């Protein structure tokens, strides 16, 4: 759920030689789409109505979640649980658990072409013969929580205002009034949990290149939301400490200006030709970006298909090859920024699809925030009828053996798919037995940065 204007440069870093790890792992969940914001925490604990409409956003309203759960208490209880079970979780789609909601929203929006909304003005409405919603009939976990917080008001908006007033205010700041209109939602990408390989000081495989924040592949398969922020802060602090204690304060004079000027001049000449005399087969950045987005949504998001990944990989490689052969067709220098961004995304999406293909080929199954459909797998829950009918009725369980290894990917121009993949054993948790005086001396002398 990235803010507008946030564009990663993973592609550039990959081409520069940085090794990546676990590019198969991302996190997905429900978010508003008019203003991108996760509808986690109290947004779900307030237990709003969730309904769908036709594509016009008004006609044919339907209480679609009643098709997925056996009764109102189970449905409402799982809406509540979405508050702190927010990410889509492959381990929570069976036995009427909370991630069945994500699959239901996916079916309504992607497979049925409808739109889904949360309405804080109303409690969940019954259908299919369900009883009416009541706080008293909620499962104990939800009911006791709301009792403990004093959130027993009549409507979701009242409960939300009682528990978390800023949750309402942030939407008001973006011209969305939760007291008078429903909030449109969808299953959205939240985090790339993989990233670039770093050591304990957040240094990459290229000396003196450090990677912090979400670009560092430190988040793992399943990580709580706050740990992403903690990882960024910790990585920045450790990288800064390492640099300060191992590098000279004197900046060397390398006289690199002539080299940089030559490289920049050459690059500018190449870029200028892309709008003054483009190749006959040149690509339009915006059109290619649309293809990349459609491809990633179809095959590399929360639902992936073991049968289709090979053809998807060939499609991605064909686009990269076309770009490498023909370049961009631009109308002027004002389109250069978009072209450079799309170029990076082009290589990033190829690398991610290569990683997914390799993971599936090694026997990898559904884990973290995605499921892998596989006609040779086990039956999906009967409730997800559209996925079963349109995509596959079977899915592949996780292969626990792959928890023991980390997938490592690096750019390799000699490789058919431009990226080479291997696995390495996970590092064991250190069992360090050191007395205080020794550890303190190692810190004071800077020995810790050389260990």
pLDDT, tens digit (0-9, with 9 covering 90-100), for 70-105: 999 999 999 999 999 999 999 999 999 999 999 999
pLDDT tens digits along 408-423 = 999 999 999 999 999 9
pLDDT for 225:
66
pLDDT of residue 3: 62
**Token pair recorded at residue 377:** 């797998």
What pLDDT does 352 receive?
98
- Range 26-190 has CATH code 3.90.700: yes
Q: What pLDDT does residue 331 have?
A: 87
- Residue 252 CA, distance from chain mean position: 40
**297 forms bridges with which residues in the sheet?**
none
Q: What is the pLDDT of residue 394?
A: 98
The pLDDT assigned to 190 comes to 87
Q: Does domain 263-425 have CATH number 1.20.58.100?
A: yes
Of the candidates 390, 361, 368, 392, the one whose C-alpha atom is nearest the C-alpha of residue 378 is 392
> According to CATH, where is 3.90.700 located in the chain?
26-190
- Residue numbers of the chain with a pLDDT score lower than 50: 1
- CA R_g for the chain: 25
pLDDT at 28: 94
Dihedral (Cα; 156, 161, 163, 164), 10-degree rounding: 120
Classify residue 18 by its DSSP letter.
Answer: -
Distance CA 218, CA 279 (A): 41
Specify the 3-state DSSP secondary structure of 378: strand
User: Across the beta sheet with 371-379, what order do the strands follow?
Assistant: 303-305, 371-379, 394-396
pLDDT at position 373? 98
Domain with CATH 1.20.58.100 in the chain: 263-425
């Amino acid at each position: 759920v990235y803010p507008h204007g946030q564009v990663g440069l993973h592609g550039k870093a990959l081409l520069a030689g940085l090794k990546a790890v676990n590019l198969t792992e991302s996190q997905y969940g429900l978010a508003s789409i008019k203003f991108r914001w996760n509808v986690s925490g109290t947004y779900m604990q307030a237990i709003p109505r969730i309904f769908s409409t036709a594509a016009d956003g008004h006609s044919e309203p339907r209480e679609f979640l009643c098709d997925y759960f056996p009764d109102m208490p189970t449905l409402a209880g799982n809406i509540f649980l979405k508050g702190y079970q927010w990410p889509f979780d492959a381990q929570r789609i069976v036995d009427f658990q909370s991630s069945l909601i994500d699959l239901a929203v996916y079916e309504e929006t992607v497979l049925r072409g409808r739109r889904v909304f949360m309405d804080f003005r109303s409690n969940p409405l019954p259908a299919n013969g369900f009883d009416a919603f009541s706080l008293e009939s909620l499962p104990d976990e939800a009911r006791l929580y709301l009792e403990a917080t004093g959130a027993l008001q009549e409507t979701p908006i009242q409960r939300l205002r009682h528990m978390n007033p800023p949750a309402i205010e942030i939407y008001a700041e973006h011209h969305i009034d939760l007291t008078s209109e429903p909030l449109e939602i969808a299953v959205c990408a939240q985090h790339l949990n993989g990233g670039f390989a770093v050591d304990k000081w957040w240094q990459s495989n290229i000396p003196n290149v450090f990677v912090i924040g979400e670009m560092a592949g430190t988040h793992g398969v399943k990580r709580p939301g706050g740990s992403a922020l903690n990882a960024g802060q910790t990585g920045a602090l450790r990288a800064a400490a390492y640099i300060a204690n191992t590098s000279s304060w004197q900046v060397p004079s390398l006289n690199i200006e002539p080299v940089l000027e030559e490289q920049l001049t050459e690059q500018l000449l190449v870029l200028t030709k892309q709008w003054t005399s483009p190749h006959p087969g040149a690509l339009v950045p915006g059109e290619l970006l649309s293809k990349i987005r459609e491809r990633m949504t179809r095959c590399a998001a929360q639902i992936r298909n073991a049968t289709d990944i090979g053809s998807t990989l060939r499609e991605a490689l064909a686009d990269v090859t076309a770009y490498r052969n023909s370049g961009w067709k631009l109308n002027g220098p004002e389109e250069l920024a978009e072209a450079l961004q799309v170029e990076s995304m082009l290589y990033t999406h190829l690398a991610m699809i290569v990683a997914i293909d390799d993971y599936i080929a090694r026997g990898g199954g559904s884990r973290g925030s995605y499921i892998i459909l596989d006609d040779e797998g086990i039956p999906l829950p009967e409730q997800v009828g559209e996925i079963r009918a349109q995509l596959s009725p079977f899915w592949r369980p996780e292969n626990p053996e792959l928890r023991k290894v980390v997938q490592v990917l690096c750019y390799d121009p000699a490789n058919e798919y431009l990226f080479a993949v291997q696995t390495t054993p996970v590092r064991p948790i250190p069992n360090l037995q050191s007395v205080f005086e020794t550890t303190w001396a190692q810190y004071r002398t800077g020995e810790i940065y050389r260990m």
